[in-house]
């Protein structure tokens, strides 16, 4: 199959708009937020006014009527400057709003999507638990339906949940065991829990290596009650639902990782042109030139990979393998490019005043979040017809 990865005029206009916003509005301010571990509310509000949180959703729900390729373009341009801002958008769309759009009732869509698309509120996805990270099927959080009150009663703990504790977080979609299958295995469902619901506790922000201007928290539920109507999708189908959400999300993370990798190139080329050593710019040295050539090659290839997966998703074709390939490759080359960028910058690359130091700290989580590199290799092997 031949896929044309050249952007349409509309997609190119969006890319340029976000590129300008990232350099003019994000780059000058984000370093201070990052070092102070503060959530950049004004930047996020501006992203909402631009319609970025509504990019892949229909206009009838307050969206921009775009597609997943549009979302990926925005994420890549933001991540070229900062990953905290990019992951806030990625999680808000792919993990917060997309489950409601894909599986929600019309009433749920009308209630939640317009406010999420505008950036008025953020949504989060409560999947990961302390003792079952990659093994999401081992979910221990439970939800039982109280027939007398018509409410779900939720108990359990979630960890590493992005966008879950900001002042504008509106809901968290939680996966929970709601019953048992005939073979004794867990029957997992997804349930919407609005912020502020009694019994729903949000912990203090984590102290993280990177993504320090994004919000990541542990959540706990103690006899937390929500209406039965807050069930998202079919009861017992939560596991299948989140697999679909993660397949799509891997494309978004790949676009983000590509942006970080390209940002490392941008910063390193600029530095190599101006940094003098032994009487000439270090960019005149072939060793530096070859490093930069390899960095550009990796970023370019990652871009082709995520755009291929996004094009397949948009056209309704199977994309699971391509999404895993893109996520695996782009996340690993993001780490490599960040390491090389730091090396090119020398001692300055170890100083937080330089963006590459932030990129170095932000890159590693890309090999872990939304499916580790090991999980991606497992998925690719399965798609090749190899059983485990």
For position 189, which CATH number holds? Answer: 2.40.110.10
Are 249 and 376 in the same domain? Answer: yes
Are 264 and 377 in the same domain? Answer: yes
Are 75 and 168 in the same domain? Answer: no
In a domain, 205, yes or no: yes
Are 21 and 101 in the same domain? Answer: yes
Neighbours of 221 (CB within 10 A): 26
pLDDT of residue 322: 98
pLDDT of residue 330: 98
Q: Which residue has the tokens 């780490």?
A: 335
Q: 332, 370, 374, 383: which is the annotated catalytic residue? A: 370
Reading the block at residue 57, the tokens are 């959703």
DSSP for 301-346 reads HHHHHHHHHHHHHHTT---HHHHHHHHHHHHHHHHHHHHHHHHHHG
Q: Which domain holds residue 167?
A: 124-235
C-alpha dist (Å) from residue 295 to 59, 144, 259, 292:
39, 51, 12, 5
Q: What are phi and psi of 230, to 5 degrees?
A: -80, 0
pLDDT of residue 182: 84
CB 357 within 8 A of CB 351: yes
User: What is the pairing mode between strands 122-126 and 169-180?
Assistant: parallel
Are 107 and 49 in the same domain? Answer: yes
Final residue of a domain: which of 194, 210, 235? 235
What span, in angstroms and rounded, lies between the C-alpha atoms of 57 and 7? 19
pLDDT of residue 10: 96
What span, in angstroms and rounded, lies between the C-alpha atoms of 10 and 70? 9
C-alpha dist (Å) from residue 92 to 87, 123, 161, 368:
8, 5, 11, 19
Number of domains in the chain: 3
Query: To the nearest whole number, what is the mean pLDDT of the chain?
Result: 95
In a domain, 374, yes or no: yes
In a domain, 194, yes or no: yes
Reading the block at residue 26, the tokens are 């994000």
Residue in 245, 247, 238 with CA at minimum distance from that of residue 154: 238
Q: What would the pLDDT profile of 177-210 be if each residue is shown by its tens digit? A: 999 988 888 999 999 999 999 999 999 999 999 9
Reading the block at residue 122, the tokens are 């953020």
pLDDT confidence band for 136 (50 / 70 / 90): low
Are 128 and 172 in the same domain? Answer: yes
In the residue annotation, 296 being an active-site residue is answered as: no
Are 117 and 136 in the same domain? Answer: no
Q: What would the pLDDT profile of 23-57 be if each residue is shown by its tens digit? A: 999 999 999 999 999 999 999 999 999 999 999 99
> pTM, whole model, 2 decimals?
0.95
CB 19 within 8 A of CB 38: no
Residue in 91, 38, 97, 88 with CA at minimum distance from that of residue 64: 97
pLDDT of residue 350: 95
What span, in angstroms and rounded, lies between the C-alpha atoms of 297 and 309? 19
pLDDT confidence band for 293 (50 / 70 / 90): very high
What span, in angstroms and rounded, lies between the C-alpha atoms of 182 and 46? 50
CATH number of the domain within which 329 lies: 1.20.140.10
């Amino acid at each position: 199959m031949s896929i044309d990865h050249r952007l349409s005029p509309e997609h190119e206009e969006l890319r340029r708009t976000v590129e300008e916003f990232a350099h003019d509005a994000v780059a000058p301010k984000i370093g201070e937020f990052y070092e102070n571990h503060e959530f950049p509310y004004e930047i996020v509000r501006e992203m909402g006014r631009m319609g970025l949180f509504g990019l892949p959703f229909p206009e009838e729900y307050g969206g921009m009527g775009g597609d997943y390729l549009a979302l990926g373009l925005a994420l890549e341009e933001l991540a070229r400057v900062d990953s905290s801002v990019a992951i806030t958008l990625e999680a808000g769309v792919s993990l917060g709003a997309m489950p409601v759009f894909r599986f929600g009732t019309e009433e749920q869509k009308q209630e939640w999507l317009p406010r999420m698309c505008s950036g008025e509120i953020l949504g989060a996805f409560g999947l990961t638990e302390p003792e079952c990270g990659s093994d999401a099927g081992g979910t221990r959080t439970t939800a039982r339906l109280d027939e007398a009150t018509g409410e779900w009663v939720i108990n359990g703990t979630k960890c590493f949940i992005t966008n879950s504790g900001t002042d504008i977080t509106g809901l968290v979609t939680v996966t929970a065991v709601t019953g048992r299958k005939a073979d004794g295995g867990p029957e997992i469902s997804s349930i919407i829990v609005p912020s502020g619901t009694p019994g729903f506790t949000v912990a203090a922000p984590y102290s993280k290596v990177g993504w320090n201007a994004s919000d990541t928290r542990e959540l706990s539920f103690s006899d937390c009650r929500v209406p039965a109507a807050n069930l998202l999708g079919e009861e017992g189908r939560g596991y299948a639902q989140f697999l679909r959400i993660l397949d799509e999300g891997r494309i978004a993370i790949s676009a983000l990782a590509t942006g970080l990798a390209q940002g490392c190139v941008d910063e390193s080329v600029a530095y190599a042109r101006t940094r003098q050593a032994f009487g000439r710019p270090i960019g005149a040295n072939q060793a530096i030139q070859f490093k930069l050539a390899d960095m550009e090659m990796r970023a370019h290839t990652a871009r082709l990979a995520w755009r291929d997966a996004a094009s397949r998703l948009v056209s309704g074709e199977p994309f699971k393998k391509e999404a895993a390939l893109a996520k695996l490759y782009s996340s690993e080359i993001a780490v490599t490019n960040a390491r090389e960028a730091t090396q090119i910058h020398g001692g300055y690359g170890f100083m937080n005043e330089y963006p590459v130091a932030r990129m170095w700290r932000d890159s590693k989580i890309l090999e872990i979040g939304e499916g580790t590199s090991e999980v991606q290799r497992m998925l690719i092997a399965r798609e090749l017809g190899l059983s485990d």
